[in-house]
Amino acid sequence: MNNFTYSQATGIDNAVNEITGHEKSMFIAGGTNLIDLMKENVLHPDHLIDINGLHLTSIEFLDDGRLFLGALVTNADTAWHPEVEKKYPLLAEAILAGASPQLRNMATNGGNLMQRTRCYYFYDTSTPCNKRTPGSGCSAINGYNRIHAILGTSQHCIAVHPSDMCVALRAINAVVQVKGKAGERLIPIEHFHRLPAYTPQIDNNLAHDELITGIILPREHFNTHYKYLKVRDRASYAFALVSVAVVLRLKEGVIDEIRIALGGVAHKPWRDEGVENWLKDKPATDENFAEAADMILQEAKTFGANDFKPALAKRAIVRACREALNREI
Amino acid sequence: MNNETSYIGQPVNRVDGYAKVTGDAKYAADYNAGGLCYGVVVSAGIARGRIVRIDASAALQLEGVFQVFTHENVSGLAWFNMSYKDMDAPPGKHFRYLQTDMVTYSQQPVALVVAETFELARYAATLVNITYAADAHTTSLTGNLDKARPPKGKKTGFKKPANRGHFEKAFKAAQVTTDVTYYQGAEHHNPMEMHATTVLYYKNGSITVYDKTQGVLNTQSYVKSVFGLSGKKVKVLSPFVGGAFGSALRPQYQLFMAVLAALELKRSVKVMLTRQQMFSFGFRPITQQSLSLGALEDGSLQAISHKAISGTSQFEDYVENIVNWSGMLYHCKNVQQDYKLVSLDTYTPLDMRAPGAVTGVFGLECAMDELAYKLHMDPLELRRINYSVEDGSMKKPYSSKALMDCYEQAAARFGWSKRNPRPGSMKNGHLLTGWGMATGMWDAMTVPARAKATFTADGKLTVGSATADIGTGTYTIMTQIAAETLGLPIDHVTFQLGDASLPFAYLEGGSATAASVGTAVQQACLQIRERLLSLAKDIPDSPFRELSIEQITFADGKMYMSETPANFIHLKDILTLTATDAVNVTSTPLPNIFKQMKYAKNTHSAVFVEVQVDEELGSVKVSRVVSAVAAGRILNPKTARSQIVGGIVWGISGALYEESVMDHQFGRFINHNYAEYHIPVNLDINDIEVIFVEENDDVVNPLGVKGVGEIGQVGVAAAVANAIYHATGKRIRDLPITLDKLL
Ligand SMILES: Cc1cc2nc3c(=O)[nH]c(=O)nc-3n(C[C@H](O)[C@H](O)[C@H](O)COP(=O)(O)OP(=O)(O)OC[C@H]3O[C@@H](n4cnc5c(N)ncnc54)[C@H](O)[C@@H]3O)c2cc1C
Ligand code: SF4
């Protein structure tokens, strides 16, 4: 860990000003990911801008009825917020499936969107890693890739985005609100994270000098049939091997709308809208869910230690869909 | 006479509990001193090769960095291999840190950066630029089984595998056989407290070493011989240890580093390893084992073959008793055992809680379960049929063995009789419930230990021995033994340990401390009793004058005439009336070797496990464990229970979660942090019930104590694996049983 300077942002514009033009400055929110990465010598910011004092700590309805989650609201406060519990229980369920109570009390919504992969090699500076050191190679492809991606990989990186929250956000069609020098912009969650392709060092489409101010949840909500299923190596405090966020609506006994987002399988929360459309107007049966899963996973590519993931993902999809369907309200 | 000072067998609270929860208990890294500086270790990034160049210039340029120690500037240390040998060293060429340009394992410490602050040292460590010439490395055990060879040399406690009868013949003649292979990866100890040493340096060249260790005397003798110091110059203290599980049996390299830097820089130095560096030294060895069991249709075992191949380092032959249990646990005339090693480019493995037994008994007890199914016999019944009252490998009866009671009590408590043997028979939705059981076995060892005791005129007793308390409760049980033996209120007794100036005690390991140090403490207190009686006789008109020690009772801070308890004297009054300041004694108990030699001395357990397996997703939950333990006399059911529960948790961990994964591309354990090296969390651990069965043993030691530190873990992984089979019909023979193996 290197020495760094530290300042506290006094306002949103001040935070943006502070970071603009300073490639080696970084925002710090809860610090639960950034500090670890600094201690492990993976990241070396020379200046930290503490954004915890910014007034982005509320959850409130916008005039049009959408729900705004401040970037600095903690994961815990988000999950336990009455409106989130009531209207977006999928999100609450996903957040509570992540990390531990202590971490969720520190972790912020903005930080969660920005958290880096847990790839073992990314963390170990003695090994090559294109995400950490572009051009050095990917150690995971021929290495221990139990937790790695099966969809949307490239030959340069097979890492996954480890968040649970983001998988639910993807199913909910959330929008990320960001502020930069040029003003505010909205990034739909599906365009927030990206696939590794040739530049795995870039996790997402947020510019370095942009600040996440909040997450906006659409008015339309699913609080009847939903499920966040997380399959992991121990009951708690482990990242997902595969996770599935499902919301669905029925009409006259058939599926009217279904959304299936997957975590632990790709560099971003994964969705296949084509398959979701295929399920529309079909009966909500295990058989149809299984067929849908096969279609979603058709292109899955495995790397040895993660060979089990397509089979697990398929079962998890069917199970999550079934549990969403059978949810007792 | 109320006898309120009877403590042995009582669930006495930890005497150090308050200090621990309030932060008063200081661990090795908690000590500070004026001018203290900090050392951070740089670990090698390759598994094998040579250091071509170390460029520390950028680090050294930083203001406040004192030195970067490397093989290029460290010299003048001990020359002979013997000097680097420690009490727990396996045979071989013991590793010498910073004395060679050769890299022999990944994460080998190759430099120590010492600076004014920890932050600076840590930063400077990232600036040390090392150029390696890497050689091809060998880190796969299974890929190198053809290189397996018998171990060289001996290690304390290691028993050579022994054959008896004619295995081949008997196996051929057996009516029912199993022939199976099991695999276990490496596990690192990972106690909560990371290894740390603080060395306080004094102007006269002497040092006080606060070390994380399971033996202050081991630390002291290592420092003396490696650095050529006299004992007077090296004080070693280790009053509290935040878990060790064997990891602190050998002096670890932070000790070497801190002492080196302190002596060279003539300053006080602290070195603490990172969590990642906790994967840079000893571990439970990677092992592959094959078991062949042959039985008659009535279940009687005719032939057992147990062969194991473990990894070791290139420089030492770490050995442990993996296969030996198969010659002891059951009655069988024809036993074949074989134990071999493969040298790998790793550090030397290291004793880890119930070393050998955790591995070997896993194999044996899974194989027994497999055999039971082939025999269409209840697995518990198979164990009963083959019950042995003697250790067949030594042809000696057990000093005590209440294993049958363990089976009975645990099975009854668990409800085993209601078990339908058919795999998959208990199904509820997608949840499959399975019940499995296994036997556990460990040694009841006694090691050399002495104790001193001082009783003062204020009625207080101080007892001490250079042993350790690694969280097991040594402070508490020794205090109990002393208080009861001398009949003192427990808060009048202080027990000291973790100080190399105290009387000798062997390493705190092998579950031998309660028995060995406990006996020394008891004896020291018995000696004080004698002395007090003889002092009491000097008091004018003493009513005790004609009495022998057998006619006296010590209780409630008093000495009574047993026959007429109305006659008593306060112990402290004995000192006051005889103008004695203190009574001092040192005990050196000598075990009754002749009596002990006639017996095998072991602890046993029976563990029953219920698992719930998600049939679709493969995830496993251990919903219930009942373990019955026969370990002689239980000194403190509370601390003893904690030991057993801890062992069970680790057994579950080994079965389901834990493995240091070796990346063979780099020859490096790659999941080297607490996020990815999985151990169970609270949510993974459910009902655990511990039963201590009564077991009287007057052979092991006068206290009848056998030790409980390790037995709790042995057999647990097998019981879990067997329960998973019962739930799913799947035999998973490599640990940990992660969900992908059950899909
Ligand atoms: C042991 C462990 C287990 C975990 N398990 C899980 C799990 O199971 N599931 C899961 O989803 N997560 C898990 N986490 C991750 C956790 O959710 C993240 O660490 C957390 O969400 C990060 O939030 P933070 O506020 O602490 O971010 P920080 O560490 O402060 O920042 C992380 C990154 O986000 C950037 N950043 C923060 N806020 C903003 C903003 N407003 N605008 C722009 N950039 C910003 C920072 O510059 C930094 O690059 C785990 C973490 C740990 C340490
Ligand atoms: S998968 Fe990505 S993060 Fe992991 S080693 Fe390869 S490039 Fe680095």
Sorted by where each starts, the structural domains of chain B and their CATH numbers stand as 31-136+191-274 (3.90.1170.50), 144-187+283-445+597-742 (3.30.365.10), 447-590 (3.30.365.10)
Å from CA of A157 to ligand 2 middle:
5
Window from B153-157, B200-204, B582-586 with minimum mean pLDDT: B153-157
List, in order, residues 6 or more apart from B679 with CB less than 8 Å away. Answer: B190, B653, B657, B658
Q: Give the residue, out of A37, A119, A198, A265, with the most ligand 2 atoms within 8 A of its beta carbon, to mutate for a pocket test.
A: A119
A212 lines ligand 1 (CB under 6 A): yes
Q: What percent of chain B has pLDDT over 90?
A: 97
On whether the CB atoms of residues B730 and B533 are closer than 8 A, the answer is: no
Q: Search chain B and give the residue with CA nearest A237.
A: B681
As a whole number of angstroms, the distance between CA A293 and CA A279 comes to: 11
Exposure of B402 in the CB half-sphere (CA atoms within 13 A): 18
User: Do B617 and A231 lie within an 8 Å CB cutoff?
Assistant: yes
Model confidence at B432, pLDDT cuts 50, 70, 90, reads very high
User: Do B616 and A231 lie within an 8 Å CB cutoff?
Assistant: no
Residue B466 in tokens: 């250079």
Q: Are strands A25-28 and B426-428 parallel, antiparallel or unpaired?
A: unpaired
As a whole number of angstroms, the distance between CA B390 and CA B599 comes to: 9
As a whole number of angstroms, the distance between CA B566 and CA B564 comes to: 5
How many residues make up chain B in this entry?
Answer: 743
User: Do A311 and B676 lie within an 8 Å CB cutoff?
Assistant: no
List, in order, residues 6 or more apart from A248 with CB less than 8 Å away. Answer: A222, A225, A226, A255, A256, A257, A258, A259, A284, A321, A324, A325
Alpha-carbon distance values, B241 to A17, A240, B475, B481, B506 (Å): 49, 34, 12, 22, 16
Q: What is the mean pLDDT of chain B?
A: 97
Q: What is the pLDDT of residues B317-333, one digit of tens each?
A: 999 999 999 999 999 99
Model confidence at B97, pLDDT cuts 50, 70, 90, reads very high
Residues with a CB atom less than 6 Å from ligand 2: A 117, 119, 121-122, 129-131, 138-140, 157-159, 200
- Provide the pLDDT for residue B593: 86
- Whether A326 and chain B come into contact, CB under 8 Å, resolves to no
- Provide the pLDDT for residue B115: 98
Å from CA of A151 to ligand 2 middle:
14
Is B658 considered catalytic here?
A: no
As a whole number of angstroms, the distance between CA A82 and CA A80 comes to: 6
Residue A272 in tokens: 């296949």
Ligand 2: atom nearest CA of A119 is 4
User: Do B617 and A127 lie within an 8 Å CB cutoff?
Assistant: no
pTM of the model: 0.97
Q: Give the residue, out of A115, A133, A139, with the most ligand 2 atoms within 8 A of its beta carbon, to mutate for a pocket test.
A: A139
As a whole number of angstroms, the distance between CA A263 and CA A268 comes to: 8
Within 8 A of B668 by CB-CB distance, chain A residues are 124, 126-127
- Provide the pLDDT for residue B248: 98
Q: What is the pLDDT of residues A283-318, one digit of tens each?
A: 999 999 999 999 999 999 999 999 999 999 999 999
On whether the CB atoms of residues B244 and B190 are closer than 8 A, the answer is: no
With H, G, I as helix, E, B as strand and everything else as coil, classify residue B632.
Answer: strand
With H, G, I as helix, E, B as strand and everything else as coil, classify residue B31.
Answer: coil
Which of B509, B539, B349, B384 is closest to B442 using CA atoms?
A: B509
Section A56-71 average pLDDT: 97
- Provide the pLDDT for residue B1: 67
- Provide the pLDDT for residue B4: 86
Q: Are strands B37-43 and B269-272 parallel, antiparallel or unpaired?
A: parallel
Within 8 A of A308 by CB-CB distance, chain B residues are 740, 743
User: Do B682 and A238 lie within an 8 Å CB cutoff?
Assistant: no
List, in order, residues 6 or more apart from A89 with CB less than 8 Å away. Answer: A223, A226
Q: What is the pLDDT of residues A139-188, one digit of tens each?
A: 999 999 999 999 999 999 999 999 999 999 999 999 999 999 999 999 99
Domains parsed from chain A with CATH numbers = 5-52 (3.30.43.10), 225-325 (3.30.390.50)
* Minimal-distance CA residue to ligand 2 atom 8: A129
Residue of A142, A237, A311 lying closest to B743 (CB–CB): A311
On whether the CB atoms of residues A319 and A249 are closer than 8 A, the answer is: no
As a whole number of angstroms, the distance between CA B392 and CA B159 comes to: 14
Interface test with A, best of B671, B734, B741 (most A CBs within 10 A): B671
Q: What is the pLDDT of residues B511-530, one digit of tens each?
A: 999 999 999 999 999 999 99
Strands (DSSP E) contained in B344-449 are 390-391, 396-397, 426-428, 431-443
- Whether A278 and chain B come into contact, CB under 8 Å, resolves to no
pLDDT(B155) > 90: no
List, in order, residues 6 or more apart from B434 with CB less than 8 Å away. Answer: B423, B426, B610, B611, B612, B613, B723, B724, B725, B726, B727, B728
User: Do B681 and A234 lie within an 8 Å CB cutoff?
Assistant: yes
Q: What percent of chain A has pLDDT over 90?
A: 98
Q: What is the pLDDT of residues B482-506, one digit of tens each?
A: 999 999 999 999 999 999 999 999 9
With H, G, I as helix, E, B as strand and everything else as coil, classify residue A57.
Answer: coil
Q: Give the residue, out of A7, A22, A28, A69, with the most ligand 1 atoms within 8 A of its beta carbon, to mutate for a pocket test.
A: A28
- Whether A2 and chain B come into contact, CB under 8 Å, resolves to yes
Q: Using N-to-C axis directions, what is the helix angle for B357-375 and B716-728, rounded to 10°?
A: 30
With H, G, I as helix, E, B as strand and everything else as coil, classify residue B312.
Answer: strand
